[in-house]
Chains A and B, each alone.
Chain A
Amino acid sequence: MLLSMNWIGDFVDLSGLDKRSLIHNFTLSTAEVEDIIVKGEDTYGVIVARILSVENHPTSKKLHLLKVDTGSGVVDIVCGAPNVREGMRVALATDGGAVQGHKIAPATIAGFTSYGMCCSEAELGISDDNSGIWEITDDIPLGTDIKSVYDVDDIIFEVDNKSLTNRPDLWSHYGIAREFATITGRALTAPALVSLSDFDTLPPVEIDVRATDLTRRYSAIKVENITRRVSPVNMRIRLYYCGSRAINFLADLTNYVMMELGQPMHAFDNRRVDKIEVQTFPRGLKFVTLDGIERNIDDRMLMITSGDEPVAIAGVMGGDASKIEDDTTSLLLESATFDGVSVRKTTTRLGLRTDASMRYEKMLDPELCSLATARLLSLLFECDGGARVISSFTDAYVNRYPTITLNFDKRYVDRYTGIDISSDTIVTTLTALGFGVVRSGDDFSVTVPSWRATKDVTIKADIIEEITRIYGYDNFEIFTSESALLPVREETEKTVEDRIKDILVASYRMHEVHSYIWTDEAKCRELGIETAGGMRIINAQTPDHQYIRRTMIPTLLSVVKENRGYADTFGIFEIGHIVDGVLENGYCNEKKKLGAVIFSRTESEESVFLRARDAALEICRDILHKSPEFVSASEPYSFMHPKNSFDITVDGVKVGYLSVPHPTVNKNIDKKCAVAFVELFIESLAATPAADIKYSEPSRFPAIDIDLTFTADIGAVSFTALRTAALGASALLNDCSVRDIYTGEDGTAALTLRFSFLSKERTLTKQELQPATDAVAEALANLGLTLKV
């Protein structure tokens, strides 16, 4: 929103104060100022002058040669404007002056010397009208500097609209002036008003508010015999500087009052609108707004009608049929408060946001209705002496906000601020902001002014902000708290996540990536992965992004595919959230999972697979001090290899899976590549108790290692099973580990195991070892391992 310092100056005397530092303080105490624009600074030496004679240029069709009376002499001017006329009073930029930075000096134009320039309003920067030179109609002596009568000089500042969302009172110059008055400690002067009660004896306007739930107040008054068509220059300049084009006197007047007091007003042509109903239409209708566009009105949109004929969308825009025409002389003036939420929803559905609707959305103070009417009439009478009120001020005040009174003491303020703001300062600040303050010692009883009571200030904590922002946060002394020092509570899940990242980055040289929580169906199709469904986002940006992912892997396979040119071999991982169906209460069963994928062009699939296995193994051993089990997957996803997919379990609980891709998916990643992946369930890992570290006294006697090679069906062997069997077969066997796996070209396979025999009492002898070894080999034979001799 653009604000004029001149306009603010109508209500608070800021003379002698530096405007820029005032605006800076406004940022710190009220709302953020985004820009400051100084108007008129580079325009000077422009005076009121009169055209004495107009002569056509001998050769140019456009140019005229003028003699212009400056009040102190006559000068020659060459002018290209189409509207020059003898006797016309104009704004003349004189030799040595400037218009918007453009310096004026005698110049030869098409063979004739011009000693100045007759200016258009656009050239002076006071409107966008560049159709011709500005005709000055006010009675001002020739030679008068236009700046001494017109407010060309001004400082305009722009406040971020977003920072005003909670302050309906600040959508007006008067409201902003109240802030300046409070910040500077100067007095706030009320605008000139007429007394509405003067019209009480006149007949009322017929008003029928039928939609009382969506209307707070609807007031109207009728005026006739308005003859003025063009607004006063200073009014037009202010409107233009604040971002609104001048239209005609009546439209300008309602805009002016809205910008001054924040109350949107609507002027209906009284010939077309003589009475008012406020209602909704259950079946909707079509309605042409004053911008000429036909709009679909639905059953929830509040409408203003006259004799049931729609004439305006309440709080948004008037209708084309009842708008002010050039010959309008009598009007019905609406000043109303509609429900802010209803107005906002209407604008959203229509895709039509106006200066009026923006203000209603913020929850306007209904008290403004009468104030704005009184102000508008005052301005009207000032500008058009013949205008006459012909109805009473008719007021349907159907929903009043309650008066809010808040009680608190200084201790409450001290506790919130942490510093000592005096009771006197509290009273001064709140009084200046319009609060009614009753103080008794350090106890306060505060009445919230109507313009703050619509939603902004409702509880005593809200009062703290009023006191502190005016006190100034820069003036706060800052202290650390006196809170007790307590041990930090550690989150297991967080620790598990951090550890997993460290292991994968440091030991497996993987890269952490981030992807989206939704499945990218298009990318999955490219890989030949069917994802079909899941929890649906009802307002996804594209249908391909509407399902929340159920597993990490498909997205990560896409990421791998996109990076396949990055290196011959690489790994990626992400810890992210997925949704695994819904819980009993219908809520998402949200889980956090690690997904890790290894890609290689140079290594065999088995070696890539085993590295993925190692990563899973190491994570489990590191975090849980337990070795996981790998068993053929019970229900592999469709993108997994039906044969080489495994569930990872710890203590019998599934904590993840390990797999290579389905051959079809693999080929879609790249024609020739090896890929393997692992998914681990973070919550399951965090919930599994870690094994304690158990210390066992090392034997003082040497262990004896014996390597034995067996022929075996490698794919069918479970190491855990054979280790358990071996350890059960001999009490002297201390450990058993894999030494070598050999697969011959003819398909034969051999497994070499190392058996470590150990006694804590003695050095083992050959005589003891032979039977122990035989027992172990026999136990393994039962599991399908044949000892090679």
Chain B
Amino acid sequence: MKDRIEQLRSDFEAALGSATDASELEALRIAYLGKRGHIAALMQGLREVEDKKTAGQLINSLKTEVEDRIKNADEALRRAAVDREIREAKKYNPTLAFPREMGSYHPITLATREVEEIFRTMGFTIENYAEIVDDYECFEALNIPKHHPARDMQDTYYLENGQLLKTHTSAAQNAIMKKYGAPLRAIFPGRCFRNESTDACHENTFFQMEGMMIDEDISISNLIYFMKTMLSEVFKRDVKVRLRPGFFPFVEPGFELDINCAICGGEGCPSCKNSGWLELCPCGMIHPNVLEAGGIDTERYTGFAFGLGLTRLAMMKYGVKDIRDFNSGSLKALSQFKSR
């Protein structure tokens, strides 16, 4: 019996060595491990053996060995097949891309969204407003007297029905105060119009963003804090701010806000006309007459307002030298502002 077992083992070795694919291997498995296979036949032969226990163990060990060897061979064959598939696979090349147009946002949209996001996180509502307003909204409600030069024809586009194209985003202050009342935190970006001839630095159509914060006891100290925090976020650095007196009829006191020049770090350079400071935005405490016109109780509430030149901000941010590029419609210029 022992000899038969050993004979079968060496026969299996030989047969396994010559099996080269999955079907031959399956035939081998059936021949040895099948119900009528060689190992089953050996088991049949056990009846004639005296030391059944020893012989049985030997047969079982052969069976386990055959099972393992076939399983291993099967795995090796599968591996070889996968290896071959990989070897024969086509090699792709990601470097050879066909040009495919990307969409683009207008740079004003990108700059506006960035600023809006900052204010949203600071609890400000973002408001839309009309581009065509009336004299009351644009001037009278903002404490700009009847004969103020700002109302002259050379600055303002007037329409035949008496309305006008808004010359500043401040024109929305009154309506927004009336809409929400106090307390109020809102920003309102918008397009403004000034009747002037255009050149690399001047456009008759440009974007501003106005902001207002009104509550009990809003102070100049708060204004400086908010402007510094907001501008540090916009410019992604710890900006220094400086206030100077500035005159705007709708604020009192009114300020010109400067930030320290990033290019020279405040030392003085051509960009900041050697002053170390860049004039950035007018701001101030909202004039009591303006609050009153907006239906807000000036004994209880104070507030600040500021204007930010979005077009100018976009020029600074993206290094646009000619303001006219923004309204040119030229895709050579505008398509560079891919989505973020």
What residues of chain A have their CB less than 8 Å away from a CB belonging to chain B?
Answer: 27-32, 163, 165-167, 341, 344-345, 348, 415-419, 459, 461-462, 464-465, 468-469, 473-474, 476-486, 488-491, 493-494, 497-498, 501-502, 504-506, 508-517, 535-541, 548, 558-559, 562-563, 566-567, 569-572, 577, 579, 582, 586-588, 590, 592
Contacts and interface: CB of A to CB of B under 8 A. Distances in A.
Given A505-B104, A515-B327, A535 B161 contact: yes
A517 B334 contact: no
Contact of A166 (B242, B247, B256): B247
A341 B152 CA distance: 12
B126 to A, nearest CB: 6
Nearest to B286: A461
A32 B329 contact: no
B160 A538 contact: yes
A459 B288 contact: yes
Given A348-B152, A416-B219, A539 B205 contact: no
A212 to B, nearest CB: 18
A333 to B, nearest CB: 30
B103 interface: yes
B256 A32 contact: yes
B159 A473 contact: no
A535 B104 contact: no
Nearest to A535: B159
A512 B222 contact: no
B171 interface: no
A469 B101 contact: no
Contact of B252 (A465, A482, A559): A465
Given A415-B302, A480-B225, A538-B159, A32 B103 contact: no
B243 A511 contact: no
A465 B157 CA distance: 33
Interface of B: 100-106, 108-109, 113, 120, 123-128, 130-132, 134, 147, 149, 152-153, 157-163, 165, 180, 183, 185, 191, 193, 195, 197, 204-205, 213, 215, 217-222, 224-226, 228-229, 242-247, 252-256, 285, 287-289, 302, 326-327, 329-332, 334-335, 339
B130 A484 contact: no
Contacts of A494: 126-128
B262 to A, nearest CB: 20
Given A462-B252, A473-B220, A493-B128, 8 more contacts: A163-B256, A166-B247, A167-B247, A417-B219, A514-B326, A515-B327, A582-B161, A590-B131
A579 to B, nearest CB: 7
B253 A469 contact: yes
B132 A538 contact: no
Nearest to B288: A461
A504 B157 CA distance: 32
B138 to A, nearest CB: 13
A540 B153 CA distance: 10
A416 B302 contact: yes
30 contacts: A32-B244, A163-B245, A341-B147, A419-B220, A459-B288, A459-B289, A461-B285, A462-B252, A465-B245, A473-B242, A473-B255, A478-B222, A479-B225, A486-B123, A488-B120, A491-B128, A498-B113, A511-B103, A511-B334, A513-B329, A514-B106, A515-B327, A517-B193, A537-B160, A563-B330, A570-B331, A582-B161, A586-B162, A587-B134, A588-B159
B110 to A, nearest CB: 9
A514 B327 contact: yes
A518 to B, nearest CB: 9
A590 B171 CA distance: 16
A334 B203 CA distance: 44
Given A506-B339, A570-B331, A31 B245 contact: yes
A416 B216 CA distance: 10
A30 B255 CA distance: 11
A516 B327 contact: yes
A480 B103 CA distance: 40
- Most chain A beta carbons < 10 A, residue from B163, B197, B288: B163
Contacts of B128: 491, 493-494, 497, 592
A513 B218 CA distance: 39
Contacts of A582: 161
